[in-house]
Structure 1
Amino acid sequence: MILTVTPNPSLDRTYEVPALERGEVLRATGERMDPGGKGVNVSRAVAAAGHRTVAVVPLGGAPGALVAELLADEGIQVAPVPLKGHTRSNIAVAEPDGTLTKINAPGPRLSPVESEAILSMVGAYSPAADWIACCGSLPRGLGPEWYADLVTRAHGHGSRIALDTSGPSLLAALRARPDVVKPNAEELAEAVGRPLTTLGDAVKAAEELRQAGAGAVLASLGADGQLLVSAAGAFYGYAAVGAVRSNVGAGDASLAGFLAAGGEGPAALAAAVAHGAAAVQLPGSEMPTPSDLDPSAVTVTADIPLDRDLSE
């Protein structure tokens, strides 16, 4: 079972319009509603792959009730933590050429009691979890050390932690020694405080995060593939991809594939790449099922072309 923790989930509404024109009344040609948040997306991808998952989510108000309902519809067990405030609602406007304009709400401010309730809920499910994926930004009311506290407590239960966050929250959590961290290229550069222009730069940055406390680093590099740097060495994975329809949730799908495949080694990296490649070829935040995966398109190697320029 993979347990996910999403401190700041959302109800995501997407509207399709012929064109985005400021100051005009726009008539949508299509709309959809999805449960949102990085950890939520990991649970959705794990469920789509046919594995058991439990999603710990703080939920409040009518938007929170809808998030719980939508997750249950996808076969995901929800472990809700009641909030006094309302779960945030995010808006996305999609144009025919693929341009996506997003408005993300800040979300509710959590009280110390609500913060502790989330940590207690995680503790209740930790013994049954093969992995705990802690993902996304922190809502108002939770300090940057919150993830570090969660990692320390989960390790006390003997659980393995995968952390997907950025900025001060990532740096603070490294001291608690999470088992895996999953930055993208921009977040990896931010963590080490310098730009990354080659695969070699990304490998060196990942090694620095390991020195700072991460057990392993799974770095999503967009069209440039993915890196896994751990005590076993450094591996590079990439896949041939056809038309890209949407990159929303692709990194979350990658993490789900990685953890579902055991969360370590080249085989797990290959699963991460396959899931990410499948996700970008699906519409919106739709998560890949086993029939969408093409393992034959994936290459994983320890012979990393360190001089290769990063395109993103």
Structure 2
Amino acid sequence: MILTLTLNPSLDRTIEVSSLDRGTVIRAAAARLDPGGKGVNVSRALLANDVASCAVVPYGGDEGRRLIGLLSAEGLDMVTVPVRGATRSNVTLAEPDGTITKINEPGTALSAAELDTIAEAVLSAAHSADWVVASGSLPPEVPPDVYARLCERFSSAGIHVAVDTSGPALLAALAAGPALVKPNREELAEATGMPITRMGEAVEAAEKLRAAGARAVLASLGADGAILVTDGAVRYGECGVDEPRSTVGAGDAMLAGFLAAGASGERALVEALAWAAAAVGLPGSRMPHPCDIHRDRVLLRPFDPSMPLGATTL
């Protein structure tokens, strides 16, 4: 079973527009409301593909109750933790060419007592877990070492920990020795202070994260695919998308596919790429079902250090 923790979940509203023109009235072509938050999305993707998962979800206010209602309607197994503040709402503007503009609220602060309650909920639910996924941005005023402290407790209990976050929270988590981290290209650059314009630089940055404590690095590179860097091995693959709809949640689908396939080796990388590409082809933050996933489109090949990278990240 895969347990996920999302400290800063959200309601994600996606609005499709023909073009984004500032200072004008824009009529939406379509709109949808989805549950959001990185760990929430990982659990939703696993649920859609019949992989056992449980999500720990703090929630508050009308937005939080609506979030829990949406997740309940999907049939997600979850542990809910009420908090004083209101769950945040995010807005994504999607254009026909695949260009995505996101507006993310910061979320609500969590008190020390609320953090302790959430941690206890995670620890109680983790007894049957093979993996714990700690992912997403931290709410305001939450200490950056929160994922690191959880990682230490789970690792000592023999549970694998995957971390998907950024900034100080990622740097702090590395020192706790997570089994896996899943940064995107921008997060790799931020964590290492390196410009990442070529494949070789992405691999070098991933190796720096491993030197800092991570045992494996799955780095998403947007339209350029992904790399998996482990002890003594670098694997690279890509999967094209005919009609990109939304990149929201695609990185979460990538992590879900990787864990669902055993979290090691080429097979797991193929699943990760296929699930992520399927998510890009769906509107909003919909997670792919088996009928959406096309493993035959995944291409694994030796990485070329001189290969230039584009700008899109997952």
Q: Which amino acid aligns with 2:303?
A: I
| CA offset digits 1:284-310 (Å, max 9, x no partner) | 211111111111111224x32122111
2:223/2:240 contact within 8 Å kept: no
Aligned partners of 2:268 and 2:116: how far apart in 1? 33
Q: What's 1:53 paired with?
A: 53
TM value normalised by structure 2: 0.93
Aligned partners of 1:258 and 1:310: how far apart in 2? 22
TM value normalised by structure 1: 0.94
TM alignment of 1:245-256, pairs within 5 A: 245-256=245-256
Q: What's 1:261 paired with?
A: 261
Aligned partners of 1:285 and 1:26: how far apart in 2? 22
Shift of 1:119: 0.9
- Determine helix, strand or coil for the equivalent of 1:85: coil
Q: 1:61 to 1:230 in 2, by over 3 A?
A: same
The reply to whether residue 88 of structure 1 matches residue 88 of structure 2 is: yes
Aligned partners of 2:237 and 2:271: how far apart in 1? 10
1:10/1:37 contact within 8 Å kept: yes
Shift of 1:18: 5.6
Q: What's 1:211 paired with?
A: 211
1:126/1:157 contact within 8 Å kept: no
| CA offset digits 1:7-28 (Å, max 9, x no partner) | 0001122334565565666654
The reply to whether residue 309 of structure 1 matches residue 308 of structure 2 is: yes
Q: What's 2:122 paired with?
A: 122
* Bigger shift: residues 226-235 or 212-221: 226-235
1:46/1:256 contact within 8 Å kept: yes
Aligned partners of 1:237 and 1:97: how far apart in 2? 23
Aligned partners of 1:18 and 1:305: how far apart in 2? 37
* Bigger shift: residues 97-106 or 124-133: 97-106
- Number of residue pairs aligned between Structure 1 and Structure 2: 311
Q: 1:23 to 1:270 in 2, by over 3 A?
A: closer
Q: What's 1:197 paired with?
A: 197
2:17/2:96 contact within 8 Å kept: yes
Q: What's 2:278 paired with?
A: 278
Q: Which amino acid aligns with 1:310?
A: L
Shift of 1:94: 4.0
2:94/2:245 contact within 8 Å kept: no
Q: Which amino acid aligns with 1:226?
A: A
1:112/1:141 contact within 8 Å kept: no
1:43/1:55 contact within 8 Å kept: yes
Shift of 1:100: 3.9
Q: Which amino acid aligns with 2:75?
A: G
Instruction: In structure 2, list runs of 5 or more residues that go unmatched.
Output: none
2:17/2:93 contact within 8 Å kept: yes
Q: Which amino acid aligns with 1:126?
A: A
2:189/2:195 contact within 8 Å kept: yes
2:96/2:245 contact within 8 Å kept: no
Shift of 1:208: 1.1
Aligned partners of 1:24 and 1:81: how far apart in 2? 41
Shift of 1:279: 1.3
Shift of 1:173: 0.7
Q: Which amino acid aligns with 2:125?
A: Y
Q: 1:222 to 1:27 in 2, by over 3 A?
A: closer
Q: Which amino acid aligns with 1:304?
A: F
1:127/1:158 contact within 8 Å kept: no
Instruction: In structure 1, list runs of 5 or more residues that go unmatched.
Output: none
Q: 1:62 to 1:211 in 2, by over 3 A?
A: same
Aligned partners of 2:54 and 2:158: how far apart in 1? 18
| CA offset digits 1:142-170 (Å, max 9, x no partner) | 11111111111111322101100111111
- Determine helix, strand or coil for the equivalent of 1:236: strand
| CA offset digits 1:148-206 (Å, max 9, x no partner) | 11111111322101100111111111110000000001111111101012111111111
Q: Which amino acid aligns with 1:175?
A: A
* Bigger shift: residues 169-178 or 83-92: 83-92
- Determine helix, strand or coil for the equivalent of 2:31: strand
Aligned partners of 1:25 and 1:310: how far apart in 2? 35
Q: 1:96 to 1:254 in 2, by over 3 A?
A: closer
Identity %: 54
The reply to whether residue 225 of structure 1 matches residue 241 of structure 2 is: no
